[in-house]
Amino acid sequence: MELKSHRSKQLALDRCLQLLEEAQVRGQTRIDGPLGTALRRHLERAGVIADHRLEGRRIDRVLDDIFALQAQLLGQQPEDSRQRNGS
C-alpha cells in the first residue's frame, strides 16, 4: 500500500512540474491565480500543504521547490538550480 501512495505522490509532483514548464513555454515568469489553484490541488494530492501563497511567486523558484520535494520523496539530496546557475 505504501508503494501506491508513494507513486501517487510522485505523479502529483510530476504534474506540478508539467504545469510549471507549460507556463514557462507560454512566457509566464510568475504564477497567476489559475496556475496557483491547479498547483495547490496537485500538491494536496501529493500530501503537501503549501505554507504560503503560490500566486505571484517566480516559476523558477517554485520549480526548485518541487524538485526538492521530489528528491525528499526519493530519499535524495535536492539540487537547487540557483546553485547550478550561480544566481
The CA-atom distances, in angstroms, between 34 and each of 15, 17, 54, 60, 67 are 15, 15, 11, 17, 21
pTM (2 d.p.): 0.80
The CA-atom distances, in angstroms, between 39 and each of 9, 23, 72 are 13, 12, 18
Tally of structural domains, the chain = 1
| Domain of 67, in residue numbers | 2-85
Which tens digit of pLDDT belongs to each residue from 38-60?
Answer: 999 999 988 888 777 899 999 99
In 3D, which of 59, 54, 48 has the Cα closest to residue 13? Answer: 48
Name every residue whose Cβ is closer than 8 Å to that of residue 10 and which is 6 or more positions away in sequence.
46, 70, 73
Confidence of residue 77 (pLDDT cuts 50, 70, 90): low
The secondary structure of residue 49, as a DSSP letter, is -
Confidence of residue 80 (pLDDT cuts 50, 70, 90): low
Q: Which three cell numbers stand for residue 21?
A: 514548464
